[in-house]
Structure 1
Amino acid sequence: KEPEEQFVLSDLTEYVQSQWQEEKIDWTIYHNRRCFVKVLKFCAENWILKIDDGNEENFSKDGSTEVLYENTGVSRYFMRNFTVDISGFSELSDFESEEWIGMDEDRGIIRRQRVYRKLFMTMGMYRTQETEEDFKYIKKYKHIIQNDLSGLIDCDLHVHKNSAFLVLKEDCRMGRCFPEENTLSDVALLCSTLIHEMLDSGEITCSIDEKITMPAQQFEKLLETCKETYQAGFPKKYREMTIREFASAVSQYMEEMELIEADSTDVIIKPALGKISGVYPKDFATKTGRNGGKDE
């Protein structure tokens, strides 16, 4: 059915029967009708179907009852046919790993969808041994990918030697993005500025894969410097935190946003953090109630 096209309940019962070939569905049985009504109500509540006339509850009492429905078009966007039995799947990764079973995953639409998904759903795509071919695809078809994605949202594709980023324009909003409008995001931007200063002074260096590795103790010292330097611009909650509490909150946020990777000994700063940095105005300390940074 096309969006806004109408149909009656008996059309649905006939369609369900045509799809269920194992046996004939007896709609005279109350239990069968009741189960079907529950499904119809779920569809209506989630705007998959729109009721134009009638009440499906009456179908539970009388199998000859008709209800006039309208197709909203929503059903097209979340149902699909799978080539394998998905009853044993429990994680999102199960669907991703079996999505193209029996097909060459390094060719055509399969690779394109995998690359586009990575650009949309992660902070950045990095060149590794596992992603080498996908990264070559991005570099080769950069302009085509840019045209495809910019036709969907207001964005730019930035491709570097070992990384690629989908950068949204200032007025574009699409799910959760960085930077966000909160204090932890501001702190991450301020930390990025301090990291740039450390790179310029030679205190730290960037590896060939554009990542920076520093001891966890040194990274905590960086966060301590950030707090001491800029805490006049933080809300009271963060000003009153101990260094350990502050470092824990910021590190957790930066890991969540895929800006760093951390273990008990080292912190790896990813290239995404180097794409954007922030500073407060020179007179920020004299202003009260300010808790945001300025993007550069």
Structure 2
Amino acid sequence: MVETTQFDEKAQTALRMLFEKFWILRKKEPDLYQLVREREKVLKRYIDDKFGFDLIVHQHFIKLEKIPVETKSWMGIQSFQTQQDYAIFCCALAFTESRSVDEQFLLSDICEEIKELYPGEVPLDWTNYNHRRALVRVIKQLEKLTLLAVVEGEVDQFAMNEDQEVLYETTLYARYFMRSYPKDLTDYESAQDILISEWDRNAEDIRRKRVYRKLLTSPVVHRESEDDPDFAYIRNYRNRLRDDLEAHTMFRLEMFKNAAMLVADENKQELTLFPDQKALMDVALHVAAYVRDHREVYAPDEFGRIHVSQLTLEQIVANTQNEYGKGWSKLYREGTPVSVTQDLIELLRDWEMLEETKEMDIYIIKPLFGRVAGHYPADFLRKEEMHHE
């Protein structure tokens, strides 16, 4: 193996893939595994200095332990729908960790043990369709993470029939999924306590590491107060940050009065970018353009935030639909403002462009939403005019 001491383009690629993937399995992605191994020293040095993350290099996998500064709703497992899904998932992890590598077991075996371990007040009942669907989502996630391997059968059938069997075997990765903590998990009172304890071992340059973590793991860093220390650090050291990030990543730092973000000038398949090709993105971009064109009505506060009621947001969507809806997909072109607004809220919330308040039916449109806008090209509008003449 040839190691290099230079943070070159291949090191950039390796760093990007480490952030985008939960882990890199040698058996599944041998070339990528090898790439990271060859750049291991420079990667570890940079990651430790800027983020304080652990880069775990194992003979069978490589994993970057990405710990956020604060938790966000979009950081969850996207296929999970309820808290029950997560509880079942944790019980399933306990089951797989107790098994030997390549040990085979039936779906009924893991069902029985999950039922015994489940901490909910209402016990699991596999005759309940919703409980079975939750287990299917969990098992599929375990398969996706390669914690389980299917030997024979298909778990989807379990949703329709509680007697359906599937034969699995435990993989060697199962015991490495959970990260280690400085204390027993039961000693922490909340998720926030776990995040705070992360800084006990990263006492040096905490501010810099907080900023780098926020920039690389979140869509945006918003200015939350007049004396927001993280945002002040970005503003004061923006030139140094910009140079460093452009030298080590494919991203470019953009800085505004109330928001800082990393943008990509080229698309990469592994990246999750805004906007993408989904039909809802057209709606989002046109709503952003409409709000910008009516700034006198929707005036932002000193932090660039616009407070709107549910009713106002639905009216904005309705007005945008009237103005731009001709080019939307059928679902949103013919959808009611209420249904389109609901889909839009979920999208913008995941991208930290919109926030729900504790007050009933009040939303905050965040500054990042002002960074984007969409308009039809002139020839599209001309064709529409000719069509209606």
Does structure 1 conserve the Cα–Cα contact (< 8 Å) formed by 2:258 and 2:367? no
Answer yes or no: is 1:84 the counterpart of 2:195: no
TM-score w.r.t. length of structure 2 = 0.49
Aligned equivalent of 1:259, options 342, 353, 359: 353
**1:206-241 Cα distance to aligned partner (Å, 9 max, x none):** 211111223332221110011122222112222221
Structure 1 segment 95-110 matched on structure 2, within 5 A: 95-101=194-200, 104=203, 107-108=204-205, 110=206
SS of aligned partner of 1:213: strand
Distance in 2 (alpha carbons) for counterparts of 1:171 and 1:148: 21
Distance in 2 (alpha carbons) for counterparts of 1:169 and 1:135: 23
Answer yes or no: is 1:240 the counterpart of 2:369: no
Aligned equivalent of 1:214, options 301, 305, 308: 308
Q: Give, as a single letter, the amino acid of the residue that structure 2 aligns with 1:151.
A: A
SS of aligned partner of 2:262: strand
Distance in 2 (alpha carbons) for counterparts of 1:284 and 1:268: 32
Distance in 2 (alpha carbons) for counterparts of 1:37 and 1:206: 57
**1:32-83 Cα distance to aligned partner (Å, 9 max, x none):** xx966449xxxxx969xxxxxxxxxxxxxxxxxxxxxxxxxx9xx9897643
Answer yes or no: is 1:116 the counterpart of 2:212: yes
TM-score w.r.t. length of structure 1 = 0.63
Answer yes or no: is 1:203 the counterpart of 2:297: yes
Question: How far off its partner does 1:135 sit?
Answer: 1.7
Distance in 2 (alpha carbons) for counterparts of 1:93 and 1:145: 28
Distance 1:182 1:88, change over 3 A: farther
Question: How far off its partner does 1:147 sit?
Answer: 2.3
Does structure 2 conserve the Cα–Cα contact (< 8 Å) formed by 1:231 and 1:239? yes
Distance in 2 (alpha carbons) for counterparts of 1:80 and 1:245: 40
SS of aligned partner of 1:185: helix
SS of aligned partner of 1:165: strand
Question: How far off its partner does 1:261 sit?
Answer: 1.6
**1:157-186 Cα distance to aligned partner (Å, 9 max, x none):** 112233211122133565322112111112
Question: How far off its partner does 1:193 sit?
Answer: 0.7
Does structure 2 conserve the Cα–Cα contact (< 8 Å) formed by 1:124 and 1:165? yes
Aligned equivalent of 1:157, options 242, 246, 253: 253
Distance in 2 (alpha carbons) for counterparts of 1:273 and 1:124: 10
Answer yes or no: is 1:284 the counterpart of 2:284: no
Distance in 2 (alpha carbons) for counterparts of 1:218 and 1:79: 44
SS of aligned partner of 2:254: strand
Q: Give, as a single letter, the amino acid of the residue that structure 1 aligns with 2:354.
A: I
Does structure 2 conserve the Cα–Cα contact (< 8 Å) formed by 1:154 and 1:172? no
1:56 counterpart residue number: none
1:141 counterpart residue number: 237
Answer yes or no: is 1:178 the counterpart of 2:274: yes
Distance 1:38 1:88, change over 3 A: farther
Aligned-residue Cα RMSD (Å) equals: 3.8
The unaligned stretches of length 5 or more in structure 1 are 6-11, 13-33, 40-44, 48-73, 288-296
**1:249-285 Cα distance to aligned partner (Å, 9 max, x none):** 2222222221112353422111101112111123436
Does structure 2 conserve the Cα–Cα contact (< 8 Å) formed by 1:89 and 1:95? yes
Higher helix fraction (1 or 2): 2
2:18 counterpart residue number: none
User: Structure 1 vs Structure 2: percent identity of aligned residues?
Assistant: 29
Please tell me whether Structure 1 or Structure 2 has the larger radius of gyration of its CA atoms.
1
Distance in 1 (alpha carbons) for counterparts of 2:334 and 2:195: 44
Q: Give, as a single letter, the amino acid of the residue that structure 2 aligns with 1:275.
A: R
1:230 counterpart residue number: 324
SS of aligned partner of 2:275: coil
Does structure 1 conserve the Cα–Cα contact (< 8 Å) formed by 2:300 and 2:306? yes
Distance in 1 (alpha carbons) for counterparts of 2:192 and 2:255: 27
Distance in 2 (alpha carbons) for counterparts of 1:220 and 1:266: 12
